[in-house]
């Protein structure tokens, strides 16, 4: 039996989907949550194999909730369901631990099939059918998404918690990449990278790129990117 948790702030969407999934012989909706915080707490009490996660929710959004769930229950697979086809949000969710992302317009039949494939670890982007891809934001294919790519790796540097995304940016700065090169490599806009860099400087206590490069080298974070 595939145990499913659902995080969706719209009650009608949440309850309708729960009814549809509950009709499947091999699926059971073990909890429903109206926001990300409820989802994290529910998972602690009742583990789920699959969590269907909305991106934009009150109290705790889908990205933050995915990050916490990946830490609390690394074996749980997270599938993002969203109406927002925004590359940056989707990449943030994937880096936070989500496995895949679909638009909410996906027909129930295709979603049910995807859930089974994810559960049995038989869902690989290269083999997705044209039907699935109609409802899957293209950015996740460009990023060659896999569970390892979307891992929730994080470190503490200079007494500050850095997410996997921030650590990746720091490594690329240390390796001499420009903001433009980093943006291209991570499928982000250059403006978004600038925001990450500014936040990163503040966190690690440096004032400019040269200081960031020196710190990255000191910490042995220099990597050769191809």
Do 71 and 28 share a domain, yes or no?
Answer: yes
Number of domains in the chain: 2
Q: Tell me if 168 is assigned to some domain.
A: yes
Q: Which of 116, 142, 168 is the last residue of a domain?
A: 142
Residue 168 has what pLDDT?
A: 86
Do 89 and 185 share a domain, yes or no?
Answer: no
CATH of the domain at 205: 1.10.10.10
pLDDT tens, residue by residue, 103-142 = 999 999 999 999 998 998 887 766 677 888 889 888 777 6
Count CA atoms closer than 13 A to 171's CA, side-chain side.
Answer: 17
Low-confidence residues of the chain, pLDDT below 50?
Answer: 144-154
CA distances from 193 to 23, 139, 173, 180, 200 (A): 44, 16, 11, 8, 10
Do 52 and 131 share a domain, yes or no?
Answer: yes
Do 160 and 93 share a domain, yes or no?
Answer: no
Residue 165 has what pLDDT?
A: 79
Residue 217 has what pLDDT?
A: 86
Q: Which of 142, 173, 206 is the last residue of a domain?
A: 142
CATH of the domain at 33: 3.40.50.2300
Tokens of 22: 């509950």
Q: Tell me if 147 is assigned to some domain.
A: no
**Locate tokens 């012989």: which residue?**
25
Torsional sign, CA 7, 9, 15, 17: negative
Residue 106 has what pLDDT?
A: 94
> Rounded to whole angstroms, how far apart are CA atoms 46 and 39?
10
Residue 72: count other Cβ atoms within 10 Å of its Cβ.
13
| pTM for the whole structure | 0.65
Residue 96 has what pLDDT?
A: 85
Do 40 and 98 share a domain, yes or no?
Answer: yes
Q: Which of 114, 142, 170 is the last residue of a domain?
A: 142
Residue 1 has what pLDDT?
A: 95
Q: Tell me if 149 is assigned to some domain.
A: no
Do 11 and 87 share a domain, yes or no?
Answer: yes
The residue segments making up the domain with residue 24 are 2-142
């Amino acid at each position: 039996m595939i145990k499913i948790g659902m995080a969706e702030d719209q009650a009608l969407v949440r309850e309708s989907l729960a009814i549809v999934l509950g009709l499947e012989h091999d699926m059971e909706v073990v909890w429903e949550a109206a926001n990300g915080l409820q989802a994290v707490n529910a998972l602690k009490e009742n583990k789920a194999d699959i969590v269907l996660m909305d991106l934009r929710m009150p109290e705790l959004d889908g990205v933050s909730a995915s990050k916490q769930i990946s830490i609390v229950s690394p074996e749980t697979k997270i599938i993002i369901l969203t109406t927002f086809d925004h590359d940056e949000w989707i990449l943030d969710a994937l880096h936070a631990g989500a496995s895949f992302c679909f638009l909410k317009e996906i027909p129930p039949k295709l979603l049910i099939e995807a859930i089974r494939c994810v559960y049995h670890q038989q869902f690989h982007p290269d083999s997705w059918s044209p039907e699935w891809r109609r409802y899957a934001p293209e950015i996740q294919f460009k990023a060659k998404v896999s569970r390892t790519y979307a891992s929730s790796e994080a470190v503490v540097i200079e007494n500050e918690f850095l997410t996997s995304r921030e650590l990746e940016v720091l490594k690329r700065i240390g390796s001499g990449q420009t903001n433009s090169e980093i943006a291209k490599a991570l499928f982000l806009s250059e403006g978004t990278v600038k925001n990450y860099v500014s936040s990163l400087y503040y966190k690690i206590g440096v004032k400019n790129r040269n200081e960031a490069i020196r710190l990255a080298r000191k910490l042995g974070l220099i990597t050769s990117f191809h």
